[in-house]
Every structure is written in structure tokens, then in C-alpha cells.
Structure 1
């Protein structure tokens, strides 16, 4: 009997397993089992290197469905994400995302559909890695600036926190509009536009305030 497994990677205190499960159920998924890794990076660890992630290779069978909030839960490394998705598709597992309702299925034999599917997988995996690298670089720059001049005037306290900033950048990478992001985060359109215009400055501001 086929089953639906939700895989969640909880890498920060702003993310919770309950939240990812609630999102999946709200999107209409009936989850049979949840597999989750806590406090692990999607950049430095592959799915097979995570305690729970590697269990998916033993648990998933032909006809099963693997649900993830977004492809970045599988990882933020281009090669790893593409390898993981292709491996499971080859086993007859369907991968579905909660955000935007993406479906990756290896059953199709039409070469054109295969080409479109594979191109989309590659694009999403590359986007996940690029976003992670940009965020990490901005964080390093902000921390370095704060350490170089700890007495520097911090300016006005930002109206956003780490969770809000990550949400903005996540939605931007997926093509969401300013108004949509503003409603989802509770930030003003002006703040969203400022973050989109200079993510590095937004990261530096958080670092100066220790947020």
C-alpha cells in the first residue's frame, strides 16, 4: 500500500516541524508519516548525511509520495538536490512541494515533458543554492562590518527580524510580488522594496542589532 511521507528539515529556531506539517495538511496532503531532521544545514550536509534524511532511502517505495515544503528542504546544494530528486523518481516515487504545488514524477516517457521537468528541477535546485550562498555572504559581510566598528551607530531598529527577512528572500526567489510579500510578512511595501533592493544591507542591519 502506497504512503505519503513528509520530509521536513528544521535548520533554525524560526522554523518548526509543526508549521511545515500544518502547511502540508492545509494544502490538502494526507500525511501518513513525518520524517524530520533538526538543526542541520542544507548547504553542508547532503540528504544521505542527515540522520533522518538517509532513512528516506530505505522507507520510500514505488508508488509512494514524498512531500516537502519546498525543494530547499531536501538541500541547498545543486548537485545533491538534483541527484536526490532523480534517484527517487527512478524508484517510482512522486515528489511534491507544498509551495506552488510542484510535482516531479518519473513516469512520463514523453521526451518533451521529460525535458521540461528536468529543466525545472535544475532551475529550482540552482535557485536554492544561489539563494543560500547570497544569504550567507550577506551575513558574513554584516557581521564583519559590525565587528570592525562595534561602536558604530546602529541606526533605527529594523521593522523586520530574521524570520521575516528569510521569508522575504524566499518569496522573492520564487517570483512573488511586493504586495503579496507585504501581506504575507506584515511588512510595509516600502520595507519589502528596500530589502529586495539591497539584501546585503538588510543583513548588515540585522547583524548590527544582533538579530
Structure 2
């Protein structure tokens, strides 16, 4: 059995690696260590997440997928959550989350009956927390949109302010002749941001 830790943050401005120490401590308290870490900055509302799927590709039956919170694994719609659950089940991977106490015993070997009972209970709790995480995601999006609409109505909405320092770095690298992909990798800017800045800079496109 290998413990594979999954760390996620929604944007490149957030620290996806923030919970690494907590996951290491959790495993160490149980006399175990984490075999590998999979870290990415992607929305939990997206099913397509390269590092998560790399983890599942690497995993073998009985391995543990360790996360800080269930919402690090999923803020998915019920349909996409069902797809992810099916893949996890097909791989024979056990999900353990620090915020889900019913899952903690799954990190320790046990008899078949106990493992099945804990697995069934953990599955129900996972479903509940995944649904709560999705609702929280939708509620926050709705509140944000309501705030934008209110600001527009009051003439206060100016849109998202550009990151001047990143803009300058992107423009500089483009002028030096780096490709769009190299600029993305170096600065963390999105493809659309690089494309927008490139329109005002003499640089080769891809």
C-alpha cells in the first residue's frame, strides 16, 4: 500500500502546497510515510485535472489517496463526481481526508468485514461532503455575481484589475522572443493573457 497525497489550489496565485506539512504529520502519526505528492493549481469544479489523473494512473489497488479536505478533491457537479468516484473505485483506491474522521481507519489494514463496513460508511460521508463543497462553490459564485451586478448598477464596477507586474514580465519575455508556451511556464500567466499582451508586442506567436 502506498499513500499518495493530492494537493490542490484553485488559482496560480494560491499556494497549492500549503497543506503538505499537515498531510506528512497525519501519516507520520500513524507510523507511515507519503510515497508521492501530486500538486496542481486547478479548479475543483473541473473534472479534467492532470495531476489528479496522474495520481490515479500511478495508483495500485489498496493505495490511499490522501487529501486535506474533501473539497480539495471535488467541487464537482453530481454527474462529474459520480464519474470520478467510479474511476477511484475501479482503481481500488481508498480516499482518506483529514476533515473526514470516518476515513482515517482506512489508512490502516483491517479484516475484510471491517474494511467493507468502513468503506460503505466512508462512501456516504464522501458523497455528503462533496455535495456540500459543490453547494458552497455555487453559493460563492452567486454572491460574487450579485456583488458585480450591484456594483454595475451603482456605477462602481471597474472590472478585474490587471496584474501590472505580471503584464510587464510577460511583455518583456515576449520581446526577448520566447514562445507563448515558454512565457506561460515562466510567468504563470494564462494563454489568453499572453495572447492579449502579445497583440501589443512585436513577438513570434505559436
Q: Residues 90 and 69 from structure 1, CA distance in 2 versus in 1: closer, same or farther, beyond 3 angstroms?
A: same
Asked which structure has the greater CA Rg, the reply is 2
Q: Distance in 1 between matches of 2:155 and 2:83?
A: 44
Matches within 5 A, 1:98-137: 98-103=98-103, 116-137=121-142
Alignment equivalent of 1:33, drawn from 24, 32, 36? 36
Q: Distance in 1 between matches of 2:137 and 2:72?
A: 12
Q: Residues 114 and 51 from structure 1, CA distance in 2 versus in 1: closer, same or farther, beyond 3 angstroms?
A: closer
Q: Distance in 2 between matches of 1:18 and 1:42?
A: 15
Determine the structure 2 residue equivalent to 1:65. Answer: 64
Q: Distance in 1 between matches of 2:16 and 2:66?
A: 13
Q: Distance in 2 between matches of 1:119 and 1:63?
A: 19
**Displacement after TM superposition at 1:57 (Å):** 2.5
- Structure 2, gaps ≥5 residues long: 158-206
**Is the 8 Å Cα contact of residues 67 and 98 (structure 2) preserved in structure 1?**
yes
Matches within 5 A, 1:3-152: 3-12=2-11, 15-29=14-28, 30-38=33-41, 40-43=42-45, 45-46=46-47, 49-77=48-76, 78-103=78-103, 116-151=121-156
**Is the 8 Å Cα contact of residues 68 and 98 (structure 1) preserved in structure 2?**
yes
TM-score normalized by the length of structure 2: 0.60
- Structure 1, gaps ≥5 residues long: 153-211
The runs of 4+ residues in structure 1 deviating greater than 3 Å are 12-15, 107-118
TM-score normalized by the length of structure 1: 0.58
Q: Distance in 1 between matches of 2:118 and 2:96?
A: 17
**Is the 8 Å Cα contact of residues 44 and 72 (structure 2) preserved in structure 1?**
yes
**Displacement after TM superposition at 1:145 (Å):** 1.0
Equivalenced residue count is 146
SS at structure 2 position matched to 1:103: helix
Q: Residues 57 and 151 from structure 1, CA distance in 2 versus in 1: closer, same or farther, beyond 3 angstroms?
A: closer
**Displacement after TM superposition at 1:65 (Å):** 1.0
Q: Distance in 1 between matches of 2:141 and 2:125?
A: 24
CA deviation profile, 1:26-56 (whole Å, cap 9, x unmatched): 3335222111221x2222x20xx22222212
**Displacement after TM superposition at 1:109 (Å):** 5.4
SS at structure 1 position matched to 2:96: strand
Matches within 5 A, 1:126-205: 126-151=131-156
Q: Residues 124 and 101 from structure 1, CA distance in 2 versus in 1: closer, same or farther, beyond 3 angstroms?
A: same
Q: Distance in 2 between matches of 1:147 and 1:138?
A: 14
Superposed CA RMSD: 2.8
